[in-house]
């Protein structure tokens, strides 16, 4: 079937406002809402307000579609979606994270203008433990073809051997049989193998295998030919990749792989929940550059765009289904009755989406499901896992298990929407009750620290683990490092993975991954920071006298990510690279000197807020902490050539607690046990007058309404070094063939928004995102601040790579 881009020229109305606004999809209505402490979603959704959004699009349906099948795909609508055509409701879909299809055949009026309406009802809150966004936040497509054409997601490629695949083609009507031609094309788009039939096995000559280090992709093209003419066609990409798991570990194509994983949420920082191809590919690229080879999509199915990026760039994926099952974690979430009715359809939708993607190596059937401590929950886990295997028996099935929560629920002490007997509260919690229960675990983590990890090794946790693990191929443990050695000793054949761990515990976790064959990897919470769960991992600074936060505004981000919401690597990234054996040179992180006199409150997720900077105007003479990450015996630290100390390296880091800031340079020299230099790192201060530095990640875009330019904006000295303590409000003006999609920073306390032309830098940095329109031309971007101004020009070329409507 032909796929037609249906993302341009919609209107959106928030119910109750009477105002319609022209938009192009994807669109996140929540990111435009005001933020305040009284918002029903509270800090879980970064204090943004909820809402119901009605999207409308008028399309002229060609007369020749009279005998055509037409299918509408929505890749993601948050949430409680309804699809109407010409006033007739044709479909509804409650879950906000799975793609779904609506058959429009017979409901359109060919030769006339037709109206498509999609309603996203996110008006009841709280319903999420993180920033969800609202609306049609992922792309929308129309598929048009013959009534017996190949269905969307109708071509399935199963790898049966290193050079052999089985291809199954599903049609909307009767199978084409010998009229179905199947071709395999290589990376140069040359046909390398062919066969006939809707169910066929094909051997590929000189096969090139796919793994994260060598992401070689093929294309499978299925065509129906009748009477010498092309009747229908569909293509999918795939990779030749076989995985195995067992007591000796996890392997890809026969080679053992240790998963250097990071958990991510679905939002794109300043873009809100919007899923743009360029944003998703950028995230994967940056994470791969940071040393990660695996992503856990927490706690919902990953987007198609990100899967394509993982396939092409080389990244393993654990795709996750749900954050709740029978027991609600918030009053209006997907759990309970909605889950009972819809879970199978959502599981099937996720697997159909993932099936051909070699990057997907694991399916997770849930996250921190407290009812796993009960017989009912364990039986449900088995049903979910069995349904996954029924649809796809080639990948491992796991679950993010919190053994403390499961053992508490087994004793009738569940914290999520449960009564004292641990039974489900079928009516959900009241709004007041649901707010504390939905964040209870994060509060407990910060207050109890390592106690939660130790609770994962109690007899109650043993009982829960022994009941749950047989349902799964790989047992995923959240915050249970203390359990790893115990599992290896008592259950050497039980394959386990650290499905969610503290970034600051990476060194100890990775030593265990290397030592224990049945422990296949570690997924830190998180690799990339995210909106919502406001402040759980934020290092907070308060005035010692007033006890108030030093920055104004409500916290907008979670804080635990080693990459910030703008995609900038925090110094902990270098620590990870050293631990993983991917880096030799040391790296320096400096505690923000502007907060030298403030009280510093760390969290369980991050114990440092160090910045890769030695440029702190106005802070001369202040003393601050410095961390040096190094794979060495000792580190010597110098400021302007003078030694300020020599420290022993422990767990790949050396800590210097009271270093006096003075402009110039700071240098760290890594030394081995014999005192020989093994590497050095250096930071310098900005000099001269402050100016703007604009760094676009690309300057050429396509006129498709989707291409983005990420524009880094820095306040720098004449030597090009960012001034980390000279923040100011900047304004971005965009004219021509594009628009300003977002403008913001990684500042955790946010009194501004991401949708205005003006924003204040954070440690001297900001990020603007420019979106191409549908017409070729030039985009002129002007950035201005106090006594400074810079401009760049981007070029937008015509785009005919796909059909648009």
pLDDT tens column, 295-329? 999 999 999 999 999 999 999 999 999 999 999 99
Q: Are strands 496-501 and 475-478 parallel, antiparallel or unpaired?
A: parallel
Those residues whose C-beta lies under 8 Å from the C-beta of residue 673, and which sit 6 or more positions away, are 633
Contact 499, 400 (CB under 8 A): yes
Domain C-terminal end among 146, 166, 198: 146
- For the cut 50, the answer to whether the pLDDT of residue 426 exceeds it is no
Tens of pLDDT along 396-416? 999 999 999 999 999 888 777
Is residue 392, in this structure, part of any structural domain at all? yes
Distance, in Å, from the CA atom of 1 to the CA atom of 663, rounded to the nearest integer, reads 63
Residues 202 and 334 in one domain: no
Is residue 374, in this structure, part of any structural domain at all? no
Residues 41 and 127 in one domain: yes
Read off the pLDDT band of 442 (50, 70, 90).
low
Kindly report the CATH number assigned to the domain that includes residue 69.
2.60.120.260
- Whole-angstrom Cα Rg for the chain: 27
Helix (H, G, I), strand (E, B) or coil at 199: strand
- For the cut 80, the answer to whether the pLDDT of residue 705 exceeds it is yes
Number of domains the chain is built from: 5
Is residue 129, in this structure, part of any structural domain at all? yes
Higher local confidence (pLDDT), 497 or 801? 497
Contact 762, 724 (CB under 8 A): no
- For the cut 70, the answer to whether the pLDDT of residue 564 exceeds it is yes
Residues 744 and 781 in one domain: yes
Structural domain range at position 277:
243-368+382-402+457-527
Residues 234 and 291 in one domain: no
Those residues whose C-beta lies under 8 Å from the C-beta of residue 18, and which sit 6 or more positions away, are none
Mean pLDDT of 344-353: 99
pTM: 0.96
Nearest partner of 77 among 140, 166, 155, 146, judged by Cα: 140
Residues 35 and 119 in one domain: yes
Distance, in Å, from the CA atom of 465 to the CA atom of 475, rounded to the nearest integer, reads 8
Distance, in Å, from the CA atom of 267 to the CA atom of 253, rounded to the nearest integer, reads 32
Determine the pLDDT at residue 455: 86
User: How far does Cα 285 stand from its chain's mean position?
Assistant: 12
Is residue 416, in this structure, part of any structural domain at all? no
Tens of pLDDT along 226-271? 988 999 999 999 999 999 999 999 999 999 999 999 999 999 999 9
- For the cut 50, the answer to whether the pLDDT of residue 173 exceeds it is yes
φ, ψ of residue 414 to 5 degrees: the values are -65, 145
Is residue 177, in this structure, part of any structural domain at all? yes
C-alpha distances out from residue 75 to 12, 142, 649, Å? 18, 11, 48
Residues 42 and 133 in one domain: yes
Contact 602, 539 (CB under 8 A): yes
φ, ψ of residue 400 to 5 degrees: the values are -80, 95
Kindly report the CATH number assigned to the domain that includes residue 732.
2.60.40.10
Residues 499 and 522 in one domain: yes
Contact 140, 104 (CB under 8 A): no
Contact 53, 20 (CB under 8 A): no
Contact 771, 738 (CB under 8 A): yes
Name residue 388's beta-bridge partners: none
Helix or strand holding residue 509 (H, E): helix 506-515
Is residue 533, in this structure, part of any structural domain at all? no
- For the cut 50, the answer to whether the pLDDT of residue 477 exceeds it is yes
Residues 495 and 604 in one domain: no
| Average of per-residue pLDDT values in the chain | 95
Distance, in Å, from the CA atom of 109 to the CA atom of 62, rounded to the nearest integer, reads 9
Nearest partner of 452 among 428, 481, 476, judged by Cα: 481
Contact 296, 264 (CB under 8 A): yes
- For the cut 90, the answer to whether the pLDDT of residue 436 exceeds it is no
Distance, in Å, from the CA atom of 6 to the CA atom of 143, rounded to the nearest integer, reads 10
Contact 181, 225 (CB under 8 A): yes
Contact 259, 364 (CB under 8 A): no
Distance, in Å, from the CA atom of 49 to the CA atom of 64, rounded to the nearest integer, reads 44
Is residue 11, in this structure, part of any structural domain at all? yes
- For the cut 50, the answer to whether the pLDDT of residue 780 exceeds it is yes
- For the cut 50, the answer to whether the pLDDT of residue 162 exceeds it is yes
φ, ψ of residue 282 to 5 degrees: the values are -65, -40
Mean pLDDT of 691-703: 98
C-alpha distances out from residue 120 to 54, 56, 136, 174, 651, Å? 6, 11, 7, 35, 48
Name residue 4's beta-bridge partners: 142, 803
Contact 104, 70 (CB under 8 A): yes
Tens of pLDDT along 4-35? 999 999 999 999 999 999 999 999 999 999 99
Tens of pLDDT along 638-680? 999 999 999 999 999 999 999 999 999 999 999 999 999 999 9
Residues 16 and 127 in one domain: yes
Read off the pLDDT band of 441 (50, 70, 90).
low
Read off the pLDDT band of 425 (50, 70, 90).
very low
Residues 747 and 639 in one domain: no
Tens of pLDDT along 604-622? 898 899 999 999 999 999 9
Helix ranges, 355-450 (H): 375-391, 403-410, 431-448
User: How far does Cα 124 stand from its chain's mean position?
Assistant: 24
End-to-end CA distance of the chain: 15
Helix (H, G, I), strand (E, B) or coil at 59: strand
Is residue 215, in this structure, part of any structural domain at all? yes
Those residues whose C-beta lies under 8 Å from the C-beta of residue 219, and which sit 6 or more positions away, are 184, 185, 186, 189, 235, 236, 237, 238
Nearest partner of 221 among 252, 248, 192, 263, judged by Cα: 192
Domain C-terminal end among 684, 715, 730: 684
Residues 14 and 120 in one domain: yes
Distance, in Å, from the CA atom of 195 to the CA atom of 700, rounded to the nearest integer, reads 40
Q: What share of the chain is helix, strand, coil (3-state, %, to 5)?
A: 20, 40, 40
Kindly report the CATH number assigned to the domain that includes residue 319.
3.20.20.80
Determine the pLDDT at residue 412: 86
What share of the chain in percent tops pLDDT 90? 90
The size of the chain, in residues, is 805
What share of the chain in percent tops pLDDT 70? 96
Determine the pLDDT at residue 443: 64
Distance, in Å, from the CA atom of 696 to the CA atom of 414, rounded to the nearest integer, reads 49
Residues 111 and 159 in one domain: no
Name residue 475's beta-bridge partners: 496
Q: Is residue 696 left, alpha or beta, with left meaning phi > 0 and alpha meaning psi from -120 to 50?
A: beta
Q: Does a cis peptide bond (omega within 30 degrees of 0) precede residue 526? A: yes
Domain C-terminal end among 527, 544, 566: 527
Determine the pLDDT at residue 444: 64
DSSP 726-759: ---EEEEEEEESEEEEEEE---SEESS-SSSSEE
Q: Residue 424 has what DSSP assignment?
A: B
Mean pLDDT of 707-728: 98
Helix ranges, 219-366 (H): 277-289, 304-313, 337-354
Determine the pLDDT at residue 318: 99
């Amino acid at each position: 079937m032909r796929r037609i881009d249906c993302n341009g020229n919609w209107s959106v109305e928030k119910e109750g406002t009477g105002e319609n606004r022209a938009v192009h999809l994807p669109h996140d209505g929540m990111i435009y809402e005001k933020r305040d402490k009284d918002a029903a979603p509270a800090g879980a959704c970064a204090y943004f307000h909820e809402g119901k959004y009605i999207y409308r699009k008028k399309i002229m349906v060609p007369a020749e579609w009279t005998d055509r099948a037409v299918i509408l795909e929505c890749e993601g609508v948050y949430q409680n979606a309804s699809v109407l055509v010409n006033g007739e409701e044709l479909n509804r879909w409650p879950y906000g994270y799975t793609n779904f299809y609506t058959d429009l055949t017979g409901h359109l009026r060919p030769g006339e203008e037709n109206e498509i309406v999609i309603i996203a009802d996110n008006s009841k809150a709280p319903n999420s433990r993180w920033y969800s966004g609202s609306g049609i936040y992922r792309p929308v497509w129309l598929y048009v073809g013959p009534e017996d054409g190949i269905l969307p997601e109708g071509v399935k490629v199963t790898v049966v051997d290193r050079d052999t695949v089985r291809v199954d083609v599903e049609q909307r009507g009767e199978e084409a049989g010998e009229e179905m031609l199947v071709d395999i094309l290589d990376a140069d788009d040359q046909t390398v193998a062919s066969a006939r039939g809707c169910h066929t096995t094909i051997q590929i000559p000189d096969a090139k295998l796919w793994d994260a280090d060598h992401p070689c992709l093929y294309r499978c093209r299925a065509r129906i030919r009748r009477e010498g003419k092309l009747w229908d066609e569909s293509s999918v990409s795939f990779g030749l990749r076989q995985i195995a798991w067992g007591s000796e570990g996890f392997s890809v194509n026969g080679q053992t792989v240790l998963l250097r994983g990071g958990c991510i949420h679905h939002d794109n920082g300043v873009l809100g929940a919007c899923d743009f191809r360029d944003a998703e590919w950028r995230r994967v690229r940056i994470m791969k550059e940071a040393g990660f080879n695996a992503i856990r999509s927490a706690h919902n199915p990953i987007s198609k765009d990100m899967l394509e990026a993982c396939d092409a760039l080389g990244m393993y994926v654990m795709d996750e289904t749900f954050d709740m099952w029978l027991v609600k974690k918030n009053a209006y979430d997907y759990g309970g009755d909605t889950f009972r009715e819809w879970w199978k359809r959502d599981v099937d939708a996720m697997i159909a989406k993932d099936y051909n993607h070699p990057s997907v190596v694991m399916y997770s059937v849930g996250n921190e499901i407290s009812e796993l401590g009960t017989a009912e929950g364990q039986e449900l886990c088995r049903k979910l896992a069995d349904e996954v295997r029924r649809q796809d028996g080639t990948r491992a099935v796991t679950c993010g298990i919190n053994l403390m929560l499961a053992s508490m629920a087994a004793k009738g002490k569940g914290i999520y929407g449960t009564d004292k007997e641990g039974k489900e509260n079928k009516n959900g919690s009241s709004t007041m009750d649901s707010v504390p229960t939905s964040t209870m675990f994060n509060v407990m983590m910060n207050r109890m620290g390592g106690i939660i990890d130790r609770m994962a090794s109690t007899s109650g946790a043993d009982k829960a683990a022994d009941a749950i693990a047989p349902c799964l191929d790989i047992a995923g443990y959240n915050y249970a490092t203390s359990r790893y050695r115990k599992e290896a000793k008592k259950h050497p054949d039980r394959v386990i993975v650290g499905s969610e761990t503290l970034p600051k515990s990476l060194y100890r976790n990775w030593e265990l991954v290397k030592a224990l064959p049945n422990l296949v990897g570690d997924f830190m919470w998180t690799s990339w920071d995210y909106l919502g769960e406001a402040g759980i991992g934020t290092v907070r600074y308060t005035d010692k006298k007033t006890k108030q936060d030093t920055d104004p505004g409500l916290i907008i981000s979670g804080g635990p990510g080693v990459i910030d919401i703008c995609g900038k690597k925090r110094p902990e990234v270098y620590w990870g690279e050293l631990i993983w054996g991917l880096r030799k040179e040391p790296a320096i992180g400096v505690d923000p000197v502007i907060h030298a006199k403030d009280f510093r409150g760390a969290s369980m997720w991050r114990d440092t807020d160090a910045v890769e900077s030695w440029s702190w105007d106005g802070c001369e003479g202040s003393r601050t902490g410095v961390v040096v990450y190094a794979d060495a015996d000792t580190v010597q630290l110098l400021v302007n050539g003078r030694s300020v100390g020599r420290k022993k390296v422990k767990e790949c880091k050396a800590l210097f607690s009271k270093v006096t800031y003075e402009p110039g340079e700071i240098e760290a020299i890594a030394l081995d046990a014999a005192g020989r230099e093994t590497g050095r790192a250096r930071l310098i201060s900005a000099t001269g007058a402050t100016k703007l530095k604009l760094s676009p990640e690309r300057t050429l875009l396509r006129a498709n309404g989707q291409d983005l330019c990420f524009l880094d904006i820095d306040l720098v000295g004449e030597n090009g070094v960012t001034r980390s303590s000279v923040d100011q409000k900047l304004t971005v003006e965009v004219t021509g063939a594009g628009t300003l999609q977002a403008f913001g920073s990684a500042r955790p306390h946010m009194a501004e928004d991401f949708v205005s032309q003006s924003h204040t830098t954070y440690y001297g940095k900001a990020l603007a995102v420019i979106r191409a329109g549908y017409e070729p031309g030039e985009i002129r971007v002007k950035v201005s601040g106090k006594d400074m101004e810079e401009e760049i020009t981007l070029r937008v070329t015509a785009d005919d790579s796909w059909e648009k409507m």
